[in-house]
Amino acid sequence: METTRRQHFNHVDSTQRIALSLARSGAAPGSVVVADRQDDGRGRLDRRWESPEGGLYLSVLLPLPASGATLLPLAMGSALADSLGPYSARPLLKWPNDLLVVDPPRPARKLAGVLVDAVPDAPAGATAVVGVGVNVNSSPVDYPMPLRARVVQLSELAGREVPLDELERTILAALALAADRLATRDGRDETLAECRARLFGRGQGVVVDGRPSGTIEDLDDDGALVICEGNARRHLLAGDVRVEGM
Ligand code: BT5
C-alpha cells in the first residue's frame, strides 16, 4: 500500500489527533500527517510525548488487519527498529511500543515510541492510526530535566545529522510493509520471531500498572507479554509495564 496523501504542518497539537479525525471523517489508508513539532504530543495512557523541533512526528492511516491486530503495535515497533538500522541504531523493543538503546553501563535510553489507535468503524473500512515519534536531531536541553538522561537522538548514534525527509520515507515504507505482512500466517510468524529477538528485559523483574509482578519470559503468539510469576504464567495484552531498576 502506498502512503501518498501527505499533509505537513510546522506546528500542531498532535498529529495523532489530526489523523484520528481524518480517519473518522473518511480518509483512506495511506493518508499521512507530519509535523515539525507538537505542543501536545500523546503517548500511551494519556502520557505526554515531548516533541521539540528536530524530531520526526508522524501519524499514518493503515488498514487494521482482520487477524493479528493484537500484534500490530509490536509489528510497527519492530518495523521502526529495522528502519533505524541504516543509521547505526540497534534498539530493543520494550513491550509494547518503546524503542530503547541499551548501552551499559548507561541506563537504557528511549529513541522512539509508537502509538496505535484502532478505528474499527472508520467510513473507509477498519483503520489503524499509527503514530510514530523518533528523537532525531534535537539535543538534551530541548527536553524537560527528568527526561534528559533517558532520551537518545538518532543523530548521536549515526554520528551525523539525519535528513528528516529521507527518514520519513524509509519509515513509512517499512510500516506499510509490516502491516501487510500480518495478513498471512507466515508473515505473522516472521513478525513474532523478529519481535522476540529484540524483546527488551527478558528475565528482568517488572512492575505492572504500579504493582510488582514476576519476570519477563517471552511474547506469546498474540503478542501478549508473558510474565512468569512463580509457577504461574500471566499473559498481558494491555497495561503499563516498568522494568525494575530502570
Ligand atoms: C509512546 O508512549 O512512546 C508513544 C509515543 C508516540 C508519539 C507519536 S509522535 C506522532 C504521534 N502524535 C502523537 O501525539 N503521538 C504520536 P509511552 O510509551 O506512553 O511513552 C511516554 C513516556 O515516554 C513519557 O511518559 C515520558 O516518560 C517518555 N517520553 C516523553 N517524550 C519522550 C521523548 N521525546 N523521547 C523519549 N522519551 C519520551
- Residue 61 pLDDT more than 70? yes
pLDDT digits (tens, 9 = 90+) for 71-124: 999 999 999 999 999 999 999 999 998 999 998 888 899 999 999 999 999 999
Average pLDDT over residues 172-196: 95
pLDDT digits (tens, 9 = 90+) for 207-238: 998 888 899 999 999 999 999 998 899 999 88
- Residue 137 buriedness (CB in 10 A; 0-12 / 13-18 / 19+): buried
77 lines ligand 1 (CB under 6 A): no
- What's the rounded Cα separation, in Å, for the pair 111 and 94? 11
Torsion of CA 212, 213, 219, 220, to 10 degrees: -140
Cell of 100: 530503547
Average pLDDT over residues 182-201: 95
- Residue 137 pLDDT more than 90? yes
Give residue 67's pLDDT: 77
- What's the rounded Cα separation, in Å, for the pair 88 and 152? 13
Q: C-alpha distances in angstroms, 72 versus 3, 89, 97, 183, 214?
A: 17, 22, 10, 11, 25
Give residue 210's pLDDT: 86
- What's the rounded Cα separation, in Å, for the pair 123 and 146? 42
Ligand 1, atom nearest to 55 Cα: 34
**How close is the Cα of 67 to the center of ligand 1, in Å?**
27
Taking a C-beta distance cutoff of 8 angstroms, is the pair 39, 11 a contact?
yes
Average pLDDT over residues 17-41: 97
**Residue 232 pairs with which residues in a beta bridge?**
229
Average pLDDT over residues 20-29: 96
Residue type, 115: L
98 lines ligand 1 (CB under 6 A): yes
110 lines ligand 1 (CB under 6 A): yes
Cell of 185: 500466517
CA 74 to chain centre: 7
Taking a C-beta distance cutoff of 8 angstroms, is the pair 93, 77 a contact?
yes
**How close is the Cα of 149 to the center of ligand 1, in Å?**
15
SS3 13: coil
Most distant pair of Cα atoms in the chain: their distance: 53
Mean pLDDT of the chain: 94
Residue 1: band (very low, low, confident or very high) from pLDDT cuts 50, 70, 90: low
Backbone phi, psi, residue 155, to 5°: -60, -30
246 lines ligand 1 (CB under 6 A): no
Identify which of 45, 49, 50 to mutate to test ligand 1's pocket (most ligand atoms within 8 A of the CB): 49
pTM: 0.96
94 lines ligand 1 (CB under 6 A): no
Residue type, 95: W
91 lines ligand 1 (CB under 6 A): no
Number of other CB atoms surrounding residue 118 within 10 Å: 14
- Residue 184 pLDDT more than 70? yes
